[in-house]
Amino acid sequence: MSAQQTIHVGGEWRTAASGSAREILDPADATVMAVVAEGGVEDADAAIAAARAAFDQGEWPRTPVAERAGLLRRVADLLQRNREALGLLESRDAGKTVEEGRIDVDCVRDAFRYFADLVMNESGGRVVDAGSDDIHSVVVHEPVGVCALITPWNYPLLQASWKIAPALAAGNTFVIKPSEITPLATVELIQLLEEAGLPAGVANIVTGAGASVGARLAEHPDVDLVSFTGGLASGTKVMRAAADSVKKVALELGGKNPNVVFADACESDEGFDTAVDQALNAAFIHSGQVCSAGSRLIIEESLRERFVGELARRAENIRLGRGTEAGVECGPLVSQQQLAKTEGYVASALAEGAVLRAGGRRPEGDGYEGYFYRPTVLDQCHRGMRVVREEVFGPVLTVETFRTEDEAVALANDTEYGLAGAVWTADAGRARRVAGRLRHGTVWINDFHPYLPQAEWGGFGKSGIGRELGPAGLAEYREAKHIYQNLAPRPVRWFAG
Ligand code: NAD
């Protein structure tokens, strides 16, 4: 097995210092689709040194903002040019449909364009009135320094872009470590940054494992900021590792996201159809491997039977298959490990009294050699069940019911996470009341899943620290500096002598 050169350090593509390699599996059939370099601590150290040198001595942090924005726009154009190839690669690597892969590439392109515009608009600093004509006081923004960017396997390119675009816009240098399961499209993205003209050493990538490369990036004293997207368990390790060097930490972690449906949203046939359709989409898009998946359906008791019956019927009709095949609606789970985890949660839910209304099994027959699992609806669930409290990150939807608005809000907030949630109602007053009371970073009213690059994304509680996208997503990558200039210096005479 000879590895491709997927480690990029100081402008050079290399294999791992140790010579190790890793096979990347196609989740649709568990065959090897690529072999990448399996970097280790030595590679992480080399990449950090390159990023450090590029920050301390290189031109990028001092490049005029208009040029930095121009580079981001060129990257966006290259993404547009490579849309089909990248969308296909992301689809095969992460197991999503090709159409989802294409949409991801569009969103990545839009993130680069957004941060190019934002940094141009927010480059001026702020003059502060110091109360005297003799004082000129201004707050400016500078890059943080060397950024370690660690990303998960479900939206590899998209999560990378939410970090890379603002980091570069602000003038930082970085080392990215993509998920060891799905590194392929991120390697391509680094090649596009190079093609767009980014100076050597600004963008570095080390493919490798979390416990070695990721942990090293989080602890290394020459890294100024670590931005991590992934699970809660790894996120807390990253935060601990970053503590000794007091680096800035941004965490985008998991979610256990409520989708609250009031009966009044379903009074018309059209309303009912929309709410059911969107509940399916909320829970099962990308086989539920979405941090903001609407994996908890919290429904008004009077509507339960009709709604869950229709939902289960449609869930059984979802067409599974390889993401590149026409007509396929859901791909496989990303790995054997994720499949086993999902099966474990369903088994524990059934043992705890949940009622299976759809799925609960692997599909049978040819074409399902990979990590496929049928979209699963579990009725009669309650807070005591592990499947209701913990993030499954698979195609599993639990159903809980409420009678009053207060009960609905209490259930929706009864989670240690707080990433996203939705409320479905025809009553505008109720919609705003409930949205105001939900302790989640994003609240949708009569919708599920859309996000905007202009709007902050992130979580309350154990869903994370900090925000990506929006102005706050750029602020993560900048330090504020107050420059106070005395135009008429005089002695203070505090000390008599
Ligand atoms: P994960 O935590 O297993 O891995 C995420 C990344 O962290 C990978 O690159 C991994 O190699 C690395 N890593 C693992 N251990 C590490 C350590 N000790 N130190 C440093 N890095 C380490 O997560 P995953 O399974 O790849 O992704 C799924 C998780 O990501 C889910 O919990 C999901 O909710 C979350 N997620 C959150 C968002 C968000 O925006 N909040 C978006 C996407 C995914």
Q: What residues flank ligand 1, with Cβ below 6 Å?
A: 150-155, 159, 177, 179-180, 209-211, 214-215, 218, 229-231, 234, 237-238, 252-255, 291, 391, 393, 419, 459, 464
Distance (Å) from CA 335 to ligand 1 centroid: 14
Instruction: Report pTM.
Output: 0.97
- Best residue among 150, 151, 207 to mutate for probing ligand 1, ranked by most atoms within 8 Å of CB: 150
DSSP state, 84? H
- Best residue among 96, 229, 336, 463 to mutate for probing ligand 1, ranked by most atoms within 8 Å of CB: 229
Check if the beta carbon of residue 421 is closer than 8 Å to that of residue 447.
Answer: no
Which residues does the chain have with pLDDT short of 70? 1-2
pLDDT of amino acid 1: 60
pLDDT of amino acid 2: 66
Distance (Å) from CA 150 to ligand 1 centroid: 8
For residue 241, the ligand 1 atom closest to its alpha carbon is: 19
pLDDT of amino acid 496: 87
From the centroid of its chain, how far is CA 268? 35
Dist. CA 179–CA 183, nearest whole Å: 6
Residue 84 tokens read as: 């089909």
pLDDT of amino acid 56: 98
Among 258, 302, 306, smallest CA distance to 282 is for: 258
For ligand 1, atom 11, the nearest C-alpha belongs to 210
- Best residue among 154, 285, 462 to mutate for probing ligand 1, ranked by most atoms within 8 Å of CB: 154
pLDDT of amino acid 124: 85
Choose, from 180, 219, 252, 400, the residue flagged as catalytic. 252
Dist. CA 478–CA 171, nearest whole Å: 9
For residue 153, the ligand 1 atom closest to its alpha carbon is: 26
Check if the beta carbon of residue 138 is closer than 8 Å to that of residue 483.
Answer: yes
Q: Where are the alpha helices (DSSP H) in 414-456?
A: 428-437
Superfamily covering domain 7-253+467-483: Aldehyde Dehydrogenase; Chain A, domain 1 (3.40.605.10)
From the centroid of its chain, how far is CA 210? 16
Buried b (16+ CB within 10 A) or exposed e, 201-235: bbbbbbbbbbebbbbbbbbbebbbbbbbbbbbebb
Q: Is 400 one of the annotated active-site residues of the chain?
A: no
Check if the beta carbon of residue 357 is closer than 8 Å to that of residue 304.
Answer: no
Boundaries of every domain in the chain: 7-253+467-483, 258-445
Q: Which residue bears the tokens 């209701």?
A: 388
pLDDT of amino acid 18: 97
- Mapping DSSP to helix (H, G, I), strand (E, B) and coil, where does residue 58 land? coil
For residue 155, the ligand 1 atom closest to its alpha carbon is: 43
For residue 235, the ligand 1 atom closest to its alpha carbon is: 2
For residue 459, the ligand 1 atom closest to its alpha carbon is: 41
Torsion angle (degrees, nearest 10) of CA 458, 464, 466, 472: -10
pLDDT of amino acid 25: 97
Q: What CATH fold (topology level) applies to the domain 258-445?
A: Aldehyde Dehydrogenase; Chain A, domain 2 (3.40.309)
Distance (Å) from CA 177 to ligand 1 centroid: 11
For ligand 1, atom 30, the nearest C-alpha belongs to 230
